[in-house]
């Protein structure tokens, strides 16, 4: 029996739609949205009916009846933190998307999928949303308690590429240590340890490398002064971080091919800025190698910029000493969504239930009246009373060198 999956991926300037029959594509389209299209809507949520109508019209024009669809899956948005996997769209998820802490086009994916699925009597899913959170607890702590680090990254494409590499290597994703770098309009670099992303940059909030449209990490002192300079409103500063930062701020374009062309025509400023961006990517890969304690099986580079050999070669020159590098140009999030939905309805992948969960407050960890997964994690890491404590890496290092004196 063949299963037909409808996959929907709303992005900031497009809505991508695909239909797969038993994993094989039968329809694929990217519906572009111009600034004038979008500026009519006060918020992302106001685009819901319009984007849903575009999806339905595209399917109708292609002669694809919604009645032939067996499941609908949308790109996951800014919901509460979840572990990786396939989730059925439920009322908790719908509520959290309508009350999301951040406006993002991906918030519409599950909502459009759910409404279409309800209309034709099938199930609606998301898979590996951007808020997949498998970080080590101490990776979340920053130097300011009110500003914890959060896990928001290209989970869908990163997980798909990591699993693809594992299949090509005749091994399991859960047996590998990988550094995966997604280089697109936003850039995220993540440490995958045995199937879990234990640390990652947060491109949406401007953390990590700068990218074609995002600022990346910024010097905190000057940023604070800029905030109180009176030159910018809060909205303008947020756009500086997400939308008008990175290549856009320096070179007034988010097009990497245009920047490469400018370099070919002698634009040294463009060369300097592009190399600086790639250098921040390489440094972040080095940081993730530390998260994996240097035990890295491979470095995977993916996303739109991975089509440029000049860019991947520059990054590779800086990080090839860590591990072998494999390049997977572009992203195929629609295919990954469809594969996840197909595996779910065939019973090959667990369908998880979404419940809103807030982050543990580290300052309350000693209050045993409060339930805390963080407390449980830390207690499990404590040595058993009476057992010999193994030497730490630094103690072994000191002992090794002191024995040679």
Convert the pLDDT of each residue in 131-143 to its tens digit.
Answer: 999 999 889 999 9
The CATH homologous superfamily to which domain 1-134+332-359 belongs is ATPase, nucleotide binding domain (3.30.420.40)
Return the residue matching tokens 């091994």: 171
Question: What pLDDT digit, counting tens, does each position of 223-251 carry?
Answer: 999 999 999 999 999 989 988 999 999 99
Q: What pLDDT shows up at residue 242?
A: 85
> What mean pLDDT is predicted for residues 32-54?
92
The region of weakest confidence among 16-30, 355-369, 380-394 is 380-394
Domain limits of the chain?
1-134+332-359, 155-330, 363-402
Query: Is the domain 155-330 a CATH 1.10.630.10 member?
Result: no
Average pLDDT over residues 120-134: 95
Buried b (16+ CB within 10 A) or exposed e, 266-292: ebeebeebbeebbebbbebbeebbebb
What is the residue-wise DSSP string for 13-79?
Answer: SEEEEEEEETTEEEEEEEEE--HHHHTTSSSSGGGHHHHHHHHHHHHHHTT--GGG-SEEEEE--S-
The pTM assigned to this predicted structure is 0.86
Going along 161-274, which residue ranges are E strands?
A: 177-183, 187-193, 196-200
Q: What is the pLDDT of residues 171-223, one digit of tens each?
A: 999 999 999 999 998 899 999 999 999 999 997 777 899 999 899 999 999 99
Q: What pLDDT is recorded for position 265?
A: 97
Q: What is the mean pLDDT of residues 323-338?
A: 93
pLDDT score for 243 = 84
Q: Per-residue pLDDT for 72 more than 70? A: yes
pLDDT at 370: 75
The pLDDT > 70 percentage for the chain reads: 94
The model's pLDDT over 378-387, given as tens digits with 9 standing for 90+, comes to 777 776 665 6
Query: Residue range 281-302: average pLDDT?
Result: 98
pLDDT at 400: 53
From edge to edge, which strands make up the β-sheet containing 298-303?
A: 196-200, 187-193, 177-183, 298-303, 325-329
> What pLDDT sits at residue 375?
81
- The closest alpha carbon to 365, from 107, 185, 141, 179, belongs to 141
Among 3, 41, 39, smallest CA distance to 22 is for 3
Nearest to 200 by CA among 209, 191, 211: 191
Q: Is the pLDDT of residue 393 over 70?
A: no
Environment class of 40 (CB within 10 Å of its CB; exposed 0-12, middle 13-18, buried 19+): exposed
Has residue 335 got a pLDDT over 90? yes
Least confident of 237-241, 302-306, 392-396: 392-396
What is the pLDDT averaged over residues 45-51?
96
| pLDDT top residue among 257 and 374 | 257
Question: What is the average per-residue pLDDT within 373-382?
Answer: 77
Cα dist from 345 to 3, 4, 85, 118, 164, whole Å: 9, 11, 13, 16, 21
What does the pLDDT average to over 133-162?
92
CA distance 323 to 319: 7
Model confidence at 405, in pLDDT bands (50, 70, 90)? Answer: very low
Q: What's residue 386's pLDDT?
A: 59
Q: Does this chain's domain 1-134+332-359 share its CATH topology with 155-330?
A: yes
Q: β-pairing, 177-183 with 71-75? A: unpaired
Residue 168, both tokens: 């090509």
Q: 107-116, 231-240, 357-366, 385-394: which range is least confident on average?
A: 385-394
User: Is 404's pLDDT higher than 70?
Assistant: no
Give residue 305's pLDDT band: very low, low, confident or very high (50, 70, 90). very high
Between CA 97 and CA 92 the distance in angstroms is 9
Give the pLDDT of residue 398.
59
> What are the start-end ranges of the H helices in 101-245?
107-120, 155-168, 220-227, 234-241
Query: Is 80 exceeded by the pLDDT of residue 373?
Result: no
């Amino acid at each position: 029996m063949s299963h037909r999956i409808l996959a929907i991926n709303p992005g900031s300037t497009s809505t991508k739609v695909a239909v797969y029959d038993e994993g094989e594509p039968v329809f694929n389209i990217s519906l572009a949205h111009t600034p004038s299209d979008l500026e009519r809507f006060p918020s992302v949520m106001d685009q819901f009916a319009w984007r849903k109508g575009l999806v339905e019209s595209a399917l109708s024009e292609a002669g694809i009846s919604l009645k032939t669809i067996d499941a609908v899956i949308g790109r996951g948005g800014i919901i509460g933190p979840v572990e990786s996997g396939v989730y059925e769209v439920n009322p908790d998820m719908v509520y959290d998307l309508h009350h999301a802490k951040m406006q993002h086009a991906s918030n519409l994916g599950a909502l459009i999928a759910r409404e279409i699925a309800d209309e034709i009597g099938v199930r609606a899913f998301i898979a590996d949303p951007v808020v997949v959170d498998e970080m080590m607890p101490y990776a979340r702590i920053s130097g300011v308690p009110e500003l914890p680090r959060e896990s928001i990254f290209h989970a869908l494409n990163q997980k798909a590429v990591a699993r693809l590499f594992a299949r090509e290597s005749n091994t399991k994703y859960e047996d590998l240590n990988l550094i995966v770098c997604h280089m697109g309009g936003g850039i995220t670099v993540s440490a995958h340890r045995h199937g879990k992303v234990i640390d990652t940059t947060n491109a949406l909030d401007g953390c990590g490398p700068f990218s074609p449209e995002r600022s990346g990490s910024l010097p905190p002192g000057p940023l604070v002064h800029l905030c109180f300079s009176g030159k910018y409103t809060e909205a303008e500063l947020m756009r500086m971080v997400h939308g008008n930062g990175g290549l856009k701020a320096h070179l007034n374009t988010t097009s990497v091919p245009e920047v490469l062309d400018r370099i070919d025509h002698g634009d040294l400023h463009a060369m300097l800025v592009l190399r600086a961006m790639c250098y921040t990517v390489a440094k972040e890969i080095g940081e993730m190698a530390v998260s994996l304690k240097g035990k890295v099986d491979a470095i995977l580079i993916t996303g739109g910029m991975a089509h440029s050999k000049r860019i991947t070669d520059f990054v590779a020159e800086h990080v090839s000493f860590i591990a072998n590098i494999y390049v997977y140009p572009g992203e195929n999030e629609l295919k990954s969504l469809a594969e996840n939905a197909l595996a779910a309805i065939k019973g090959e992948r667990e369908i998880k239930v979404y419940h809103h969960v807030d982050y543990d407050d580290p300052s309350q960890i000693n209050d045993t009246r409060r339930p805390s997964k963080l407390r449980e994690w830390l207690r499990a890491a404590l040595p058993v009373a009476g057992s010999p404590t193994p030497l730490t890496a630094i103690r072994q290092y000191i002992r090794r060198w002191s024995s040679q004196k």
